Amino acid sequence: MWQAARLVATFDPDLVEITALSLRVSLGATVIASLIGLPLGAWLAVNRFPARRFVIAILNALMGLPPVVVGLMVYMLFSRSGPFGVLGLLFTPTAMVIAQVIIITPIIASVAHQAIRELWADYHDLLISLQATRLQRIKTLLWDGRRALMTASLAGFGRAIGEVGAIMIVGGNIDHATRVLTTAIALETGKGEFDMALALGFVLIGLAILVNLGLHFISRTERGARW
């Protein structure tokens, strides 16, 4: 705990660097996964089609995707010997974002689907009687359900920022290039430097709390003006 406080207080340059990269990768992944997952969740809530139950079951199951497996799949795709090898993306933050998007999109979509489904039950008659188009319905539901959807995104962010298995493989934990908080914790643990690993863990928890507080602060001010 003291070591964590000392690291933060002295603005240790290495700590600042890996913390910034953690934020960049996980926030980036959360934004992209939200852009995919939230509309997908809403679309699944308002549409009835034969395979719907099946798709939702798959989506829920994918919430439990082992990050190591995702990491390995992304590695094989972006390896120089893989189909996208020419892009040279392996061991870059971009590859880490891609892996995390795959991991957290099912979570965001599943939580969003659940929230929108309940809202849809309330709004169903109104939107149908207004003869809103399907796109309008989804837009309305996404907007009015935005606080619940923020929870969906934050759940995704929480999984991303604490994830180590996938980004270790596709990022490689390269010093000053792809090292983030979780991979640094794994490295320090491997060295038996438990104090340092724990200190980084506290920084990680603090960071997650800060991001959540920040978003809640923003959303509350928005709500005051809206309602």
- Give the nearest distance from C-beta 165 to another protein in angstroms: 13
What b/e string do you get for 51-63 counting C-beta neighbours within 10 Å, with b at 16 or more? Answer: eeeebbeebeebb
Of 57 and 177, the one with the shorter C-beta distance to another protein is 177
Please give the C-alpha separations between residue 130 and each of 4, 30, 133, 171, 195, in angstroms, as whole numbers: 56, 34, 9, 50, 61
Of 45 and 184, the one with the shorter C-beta distance to another protein is 184
Of 64 and 190, the one with the shorter C-beta distance to another protein is 190
Of 17 and 193, the one with the shorter C-beta distance to another protein is 193
- Give the nearest distance from C-beta 110 to another protein in angstroms: 32
Please give the C-alpha separations between residue 11 and each of 15, 107, 159, 196, 214, in angstroms, as whole numbers: 7, 34, 26, 15, 21
Binding site for another protein (CB under 8 A): 79-82, 85, 88, 90-91, 172-175, 177, 187, 189-194
Of 79 and 114, the one with the shorter C-beta distance to another protein is 79
Q: Residue 220 burial by CB count (10 A; 0-12/13-18/19+): exposed, middle or buried?
A: exposed
- Give the nearest distance from C-beta 81 to another protein in angstroms: 4
- Give the nearest distance from C-beta 10 to another protein in angstroms: 20
- Give the nearest distance from C-beta 206 to another protein in angstroms: 24
Q: 150, 211 in Cβ contact below 8 A?
A: no
